[in-house]
Amino acid sequence: MRNNIEKIKQELSSNIKLIVATKTRSIEEIKQAIEAGIGIIGENYVQEAERKFEALKGKVKFHCIGHLQTNKIKKAVEIFDMIQTVDSVKIAKEIDKRCGDIRKIMLILVEINSGKEPNKEGVMPEDAINLIKYISKLENVKIKGLMTMAPYFDNPEKDRPYFRLTKKLFNEIKSLNIPNVDMEILSMGMSDSYKIAIEEGTNMVRIGTKIFGPRQ
Ligand SMILES: *Cc1c(COP(=O)(O)O)cnc(C)c1O
């Protein structure tokens, strides 16, 4: 595993962050990744993250990369350093409220449904700016950028247009200079697609399988 992490790191220029997607992986596996120099893990499910947080808090940063249900947000804001999957006013407002209760400012990314897939999470690209303007007015959340999961294809080259669209949107939002919005992070690219995402300007890749092997 250490070799896999080192190999991927060599492929990433210094401005690109590697976060390790650790759903289904054991605490022991995550500890090994931390020893290999990983500073951020991405978790998809609050219950699973909670268990891991108990064992690993302070040792690694936790990012939420799975869709959040409203009733899980109270717990989620205690665990996560960043929530990458904000795609609605409803979720943003609940995060804001729960963070207010514990006096925390949550860093968030707005998730873009770059393939405009009907059953997929993420805000439609054309609705992103309005959503971001709304969220930017909330006191306890801070927008740090965008995240996308491109549609699944056997050939990752087919993801290129979706990465390109998301990067273009990122630049457009950045140029608007909306108060309280820092367009710094563009989270896109997974095991099969990160090389394409790098060519299209990502600065955060989320990798699981290529580090730990296939999930059971
Ligand atoms: C699982 C997951 C990843 C990593 O996927 P791999 O193909 O295992 O690299 C990245 N992002 C999200 C949102 C995920 O759920």
Question: Structural domains in the chain?
Answer: 2-212 (3.20.20.10)
Q: How far is the centre of ligand 1, averaged over its atoms, from the C-alpha of 103 (Å)?
A: 30
Could you tell me which of 210, 207, 213, 202 has the C-alpha nearest to residue 159?
202
Q: What is the pLDDT of residues 20-72, one digit of tens each?
A: 999 999 999 999 999 999 999 999 999 999 999 999 999 999 999 999 999 99
Q: For residue 194, which atom of ligand 1 is closest to its CA?
A: 9
Name 141's Cβ contacts closer than 8 Å, sequence gap at least 6: 86, 92, 95, 96, 99, 105, 106, 107, 108, 135
Could you tell me which of 146, 89, 148 has the C-alpha nearest to residue 117?
148
The pLDDT score that the predictor gives to residue 216 is 82
Instruction: Assign 98 a pLDDT band (cuts: 50, 70, 90).
Output: very high
Q: What burial class does residue 89 get, using C-beta atoms within 10 Å of its C-beta: 0-12 exposed, 13-18 middle, 19+ buried?
A: middle
Beta strands 17-21 and 181-187: pairing type? unpaired
| Global confidence as pTM | 0.98
Q: Whose CA is nearest to atom 13 of ligand 1?
A: 65
Q: How far is the centre of ligand 1, averaged over its atoms, from the C-alpha of 206 (Å)?
A: 6
Q: For residue 192, which atom of ligand 1 is closest to its CA?
A: 7
Nearest-Å Rg of the Cα atoms of the chain is 16
Say whether 141 sits in a helix, a strand or coil: strand
Q: What is the pLDDT of residues 163-215, one digit of tens each?
A: 999 999 999 999 999 999 999 999 999 999 999 999 999 999 999 999 999 99
Q: Which residues of 185-198 are buried (b: 16+ CB within 10 A; e: fewer)?
A: bbbbbbbbbbebbb
Contacts made by residues 204-208, CB under 8 angstroms, sequence distance 24+: 204/16, 204/17, 204/18, 204/19, 205/12, 205/16, 205/17, 205/18, 205/19, 206/19, 206/20, 206/21, 206/42, 206/65, 207/8, 207/18, 207/19, 207/20, 207/21, 208/20, 208/21, 208/22, 208/23, 208/25
Flag whether pLDDT at 147 surpasses 90. yes
150 lines ligand 1 (CB under 6 A): no
The pLDDT score that the predictor gives to residue 210 is 97
